[in-house]
A and B are shown apart, each in its own frame.
Chain A
Amino acid sequence: MATDWNAMSDDDFRAAFRDLVERRLPAELRFMRKQRPLFDEVAVWYHALNEEGWLSPVWSVEYGGMGLNPAKHMIYVEEWGRLGCPRIPDHGLGLIGPLLLAFGTEEQKAYYLPKILSGEHVWCQGYSEPNSGSDLASLRTAAVRDGDHFVVNGQKIWTTLAHCANWIFALVRTSRDEKVRQKGITVLLIDMTTPGVKVRPIANLRGETDFCEVFFDNVRVPVENLVGEVDQGWNVAKSVLGHERIFLGAPTRPEIAMERLDKLARARGAFDDPAFRSRYAKHRLDLYDLGSAFERFAKVLREGGELGADVSLLKIFTTELYQRITEEMLLLAGEDARYFDDIEAGNGEVDAMNLFLDSRAPAIFGGSNEIQKNILAKAVLGLPS
């Protein structure tokens, strides 16, 4: 008999999650430095979550999910971060699963969803291309029909964790409409062990390899791996986010950075410096007020409402604040800002450079902040083209 998580009190739900973490999450996997561990590095946690029925918070119960409502889902995400659970490769759970639930055939759901839960299929998301980043609709990786197959040629880039994935969810071009470029895009599920698929990891500024290039050279994909209809993939790809857009604006990253800034500032006596106190106070209040703004949207979800396009103001604010706080850490580090590794701070160390470098990414991914502003200008402020 499945538990009705939504009927549980928030406190009980938190306690149940905490209990699970204490029983099943190995200490060395808590508060990992690595933002994006590979599947094998966190497989024990992934499988534990699955065994306990906690792996997929939003999928419906029918397909092995917890079926959490947005309010409970927010608690799940909060506790996950607060207890230092490591990020697991989650494209299958967070992206492909919900898309198949919305657009997949019964056969596709029955085949793919259990394999996501078991970890047999590890997914990555093939959207961006070398010349199609912010302007995603200009993508050119081509799929040409050949009997029972599509033949795929082209290249994806910035594909997170492609080097530990065995399936890719790819946007490909099946036809060209000069007026509406969003037309003619199709969604294909591609087995990465198919001949002609090649993955090349890309080192990032932090020296880690979170993302990759993926090359397709005459890759033959069975037509039944199509999701939705041919040429209609744009609508499939666009529909993913829903209430989860609020998580892009969560204050988590700047909170972590602020905790480190506090530690560094205390260790170095910076609070005695009025100039620092003034700058610090600004960051601190930005973080505090981000909490108030986040609450405004979280309350909408708790009360069963839906989020509008305006929620992305949180994403812009939180990513820029994360950058400001980590920039402050480098200022405070003085000549220690020359070090790549963590720097001394009292009894411990602080990963100032690690966070500073990490903070460059969120303002770019998930739709760069400039793209977010373009969307807000049109969708919320109603400004003309």
Chain B
Amino acid sequence: MPQTIFDDPDGTLSMLRDSAATLASRRPGPASLRAKRAGSADIDRDLWTSMAEAGWLGLLLPEDLGGAGLGLAEQAVLSEALGRALIAEPVGAGAVFASTLLRDAPASAERDRLAAGLASGELLVSPAWQDPSRHSHGAALKAMVDGDGFILTGDRHFVDGATSASDFLVVVDAGREALVVSVPAGRSGISVSEKAGVDGSAIGRVAFERCSVGANRVVARGPSIEALVENAVTNARIAIAAELAGIASKAVEMTIAYTKDRVQFGRPIASFQAVQHRLVEMWSDAEFACASVVNAVVKQSEGDDKAAHLAVLAAKARCGDAATSICRRAVHLHGAMGFTDEHDIGLYLKRAIALSATLGQPEAMRLEFVELEHAA
């Protein structure tokens, strides 16, 4: 069945797959998701701690910052396994994004504190970098110089783990430059609200009202927000694409199992050609998704920036479309069972929709791909 295929000379990747499967059997993703949804929680703390102990949250952080010092192939395999198991925690948009920002930042006591805490699970470092979308209420966040430090006013949307966060990693426009600053969650001038996510998560909105930040909290500086987050977006997109590929593959397998089991007209419905062709198309789409993830990872290390960027856009688009459309077809092939909240397949669909919409929908990725490719 579909799976990303990387060279794995020392067996690290298959070990990661195995340990993810072990965790998933001990703490099944769907049960955790349901409990989190019932309690309106943004994070499953126990699960998060288990992942930190396994070394997964700081997977991409260098060892001297407390991380595992592994690469994107390992991240992709892990995220794929999390997708398969429906362990629906903000690993891609949260941990991967934050650890890439910290990895890229110049050495400082604050950077080291956050990196070590993120990797060990003692801190929950939530990236807060997106302005409210054009269509929602809220004002773009600005930082104003205040002595050595800054004063933040405005809003950050799409903050994962906002309620549980110990520290926000805020990326903000400061006029002539842009900054990455850390803001302790309890700091005065911060208010957090949440909206329920379709996948059972809680999506945070953080409002800053004259929130002052000292110079010692400035983690990185750059010419623009885009420049500061570029690598973090890339890595998070690869992780999310891989998670989507895992969801896609698992949804195909669940649907094959269900249709082989479900008997109508005296035969398993998987024996009908109309159903078989649909299943083959779903399987093929999942294979393409996995291949696009492998391509995106391989291209990151070949030294061609444009090719690397194109590959990530392609993978995010392919995996988003594959996972959402496979899960839609999977729900249909589960018949009325697929429409119940009781069956897990609907949870896979909702998670696929949420991840496909995170950091760029497929259509936007494709248009960006073509624009970049045509730019000589």
Q: Which residue of B lies closest to A262 (CB)?
A: B374
Query: CB distance B288 to A310 under 8 Å?
Result: no
B366 in complex: contacting residue of A282, A290, A292, A383, CB < 8 Å: A282
Q: Which candidate, B17-25, B101-109, B275-283, is the interface stretch facing chain A?
A: B275-283
Q: Is B271 an interface residue (CB 8 A)?
A: yes
Which residues of chain B are within 8 angstroms of A290 by Cβ–Cβ distance?
288
Query: CB distance A281 to B369 under 8 Å?
Result: yes
Which residues of chain B are within 8 angstroms of A82 by Cβ–Cβ distance?
none
Max chain A C-beta neighbours (<10 A), residue from B259, B284, B314, B369: B284
Query: CB distance A384 to B271 under 8 Å?
Result: yes
Query: CB distance B279 to A313 under 8 Å?
Result: no
Q: Is B5 an interface residue (CB 8 A)?
A: yes
A229 to B63 CA separation, bound complex (whole angstroms): 66
Interface majority SS (helix, strand, loop, mixed), chain B = helix
Which residues of chain B are within 8 angstroms of A280 by Cβ–Cβ distance?
370
Total number of A residues with any Cβ neighbor in B under 8 Å: 32
Query: CB distance B256 to A381 under 8 Å?
Result: yes
Total number of B residues with any Cβ neighbor in A under 8 Å: 34
Query: CB distance A377 to B318 under 8 Å?
Result: no
Query: Provided the pairs A373-B276, A373-B277 are in contact, do residues A293 and B256 lie with their beta carbons within 8 angstroms?
Result: no
Query: CB distance A313 to B287 under 8 Å?
Result: yes
Which residues of chain B are within 8 angstroms of A373 by Cβ–Cβ distance?
276-277, 280-281
Interface majority SS (helix, strand, loop, mixed), chain A = helix
Query: Provided the pairs A296-B294, A313-B287 are in contact, do residues A377 and B279 lie with their beta carbons within 8 angstroms?
Result: yes
A176 to B281 CA separation, bound complex (whole angstroms): 36
Q: Is A1 an interface residue (CB 8 A)?
A: no
Query: CB distance B284 to A316 under 8 Å?
Result: yes
Which residues of chain B are within 8 angstroms of A299 by Cβ–Cβ distance?
5
Which residues of chain A are within 8 angstroms of B273 by Cβ–Cβ distance?
374
Q: Is B270 an interface residue (CB 8 A)?
A: yes
Query: CB distance A384 to B268 under 8 Å?
Result: yes
Query: CB distance B271 to A277 under 8 Å?
Result: no
Q: Which residue of B lies closest to A285 (CB)?
A: B366
Q: Is A295 an interface residue (CB 8 A)?
A: yes
Q: Is B195 an interface residue (CB 8 A)?
A: no
Which residues 316-368 of A sit at the B interface, judged by CB distance below 8 A? 316-317
Q: A292-B295, A293-B292 are in contact. List 6 more A-B contacts (CB 8 A).
A: A284-B373, A289-B292, A373-B280, A381-B276, A383-B259, A383-B271
Q: Which 3 A-B pairs have the closest CB atoms?
A: A292-B295, A281-B366, A377-B276
